[in-house]
Amino acid sequence: MNTPSPHPDLPLDRYRSYLLLLARLQLDGRAQSKLDPSDVVQQTLLEAHAKQGQFQGNEDGLAAWLRRSLANNLKDALRALRRGKRDVRRETSLEAAMDHSSLQLAAMLPAEGASPSRQASRNEDLLLLACTLERLPEAQRQAVMLHHLHGWPLAEVAATLGRTDAATAGLLHRGLKRLRELMSSETQS
């Protein structure tokens, strides 16, 4: 049986938008006001770069490895914010929540079979979706994330964004439309 060999130059930067999206999904508004998700993602990528010789596996394994590292870095950052006030339930559930967010993100993509080539293609689509979400205007991105990734009802999204239900529905409609356009143009190029 062949064991995968260490990867000297992992394509880590391809995962930046994906990790940033996952970090944003895990941090509530209060934590985001004190903790920049970009900083945690940068730390995660720096650590992964330093430890890339230790990684053995395929593309799926790389995404899982990076998610675990991000979850650990988020736990550490949140712990530092609380200055010793530990919530063990939050720490242990963060990695599970990260995996759940990743599955919700994947659910936004059309379902495909499980062959290795299709799975690799799906992983590429997942990274493209995360990058494309970053290109949406902030209000549209927040509306799409809260409604489709967090599963919040329209009224709750509207209240959080300080908008009417109709305005929020418009943000969602325009955001999803723009997301489809951007993804379509990326896959055609």
Return the pLDDT at 5: 41
DSSP 121-178: HHHHHHHHHHHHHHHS-HHHHHHHIIIIIS---HHHHHHHHT--HHHHHHHHHHHHHH
Instruction: Give Cβ neighbours of residue 131 (< 8 Å, ≥ 6 apart).
Output: 17, 18
pLDDT along the chain (189 residues), means of 10: 48 86 77 80 90 80 87 86 56 57 59 58 75 89 86 89 93 92 80
What per-residue confidence (pLDDT) applies to 113? 54
Residue 6, pLDDT score: 45
